[in-house]
Amino acid sequence: MTDIQIHVATSHQSTCVSNTFIDCFMPDASGEFVKIYLYLLRVLSSGDRHFNPSAMADKFHYTENDIRRGLSYWEQMHLLQLEYNDANQLTGICLLEPGQDEHKASAPTESSATIKMMLLPSDRQDKSAADLNVHQPKTEEKALQIPPDEPRHYSPRQIAAFKKQDDVAELLYISERYVGHPLNLTEVEKILFWAEELHFPVDMIEYLVECCVEKGHPNFHYMNKVALNWKESGISSLQEAKDSTNIHSQSYYAIMKAFGISGRNLTERETAFINKWTSSYGFSLDIIREACERTIRNTGKVNFEYADSILGSWSKKGIRQLDDIARLDEAFASAKQAKVASAPVARTKTNRFHNFEQRQYDDDYYEALEQQLLRK
């Protein structure tokens, strides 16, 4: 085939990507991490210098932890340097030219600049860098350790040997039937990652794919998040996976019913909120349902953010059962009533039109007046 010429047909603004990055760093990085780095370059080229991890997570359908893992990876590759304040909150990013020493980046040059990150929502600002899966370098000698949360690239020989196993060949065939298309190399690598790195048995992987597809999430990136959550929770068998799924399904159904959600599946962001309420806060379903019902009464619509603000407030106040909520409501009503009672009473101004004592009329007066009118 002869060479093909590439022409630029538009005059749109562009983002410059170093050839060193393309040749040396991009081949070994996961696609998710490459997207994060390219987006940072895009923000830098716009001159905005502000970066919101939450907005980026929504843009690429990631979680904020995905963004932080990507940032940690590129810091390990010495392509950026993360900046923290005294409370271990991530406040800035310094992009480095590929090959530039990160310890010489204190004075940014034309090839490196600082992108200041916008603060996270207030309910997350008290988390440390470790809670957010961001590894902060305490000293120059400390190297970042990236958790094995993404499949590494396997050689063609490894993949071929993997496919030759009878149970694996059946697993791949069933997975293709579930997702509705032939598996590509990245998807096969994820299945191999679950088997070889996470040590999931074949029947558990089959259930993972089946469960995610039935919930409306046929994307393997989403499946990998579920697999990692199972691994972190110590789930290692098919029965344990089924038990965990049943518990979560009951929670999801109860909350969907409380919100009046029907005819659709929960989004990834909504399931993240539910996992936060049940796992991080440790609330029972009756308390979560109460927050959902109050959200509907106050806003008139499904609003997971509003419900999260209610539950976050209850968590800080140590609420653990419905009786605690009732006592909290009573205390609030009493404080409100006391505030109204202590408010100064507005006095009516006295003037020449209002300087007489008003008459007081009782029921006898009105009855006598009514009889008088009937006699006329």
The pair of structure tokens assigned to 155 is 């050689």
pLDDT confidence tier of residue 284, bands split at 50, 70 and 90: confident
User: How confident is the model at residue 202, as a pLDDT?
Assistant: 92
Q: What CATH number belongs to 237-320?
A: 1.10.10
According to the model, what pLDDT value does residue 308 have? Answer: 93
More confident residue, 321 or 150: 321
Q: How far apart are CA 320 and CA 223, in angstroms?
A: 32
Answer yes or no: is pLDDT of 118 > 70: no
Angle at 175 between CA 62 and CA 170, to 5 degrees: 145
Q: For the chain, which residues make up each domain, given as ranges? A: 19-124, 149-235, 237-320
The pTM of the full predicted model, rounded to 2 decimals, is 0.39
344-371 pLDDT, tens digit per residue, is 665 656 566 556 566 666 667 667 777 7
Report whether CATH 2.60.40 matches the domain 19-124: no
Distance CA 155, CA 174 (A): 23
Q: Do 149-235 and 237-320 agree at the fold level?
A: yes
Split at pLDDT 50, 70, 90, the class of 103 is: very low
CB 128 within 8 A of CB 113: no
Q: Which CATH architecture fits 149-235?
A: Orthogonal Bundle (1.10)
Mean pLDDT in residue range 53-82: 80
pLDDT value at 162 more than 90: no
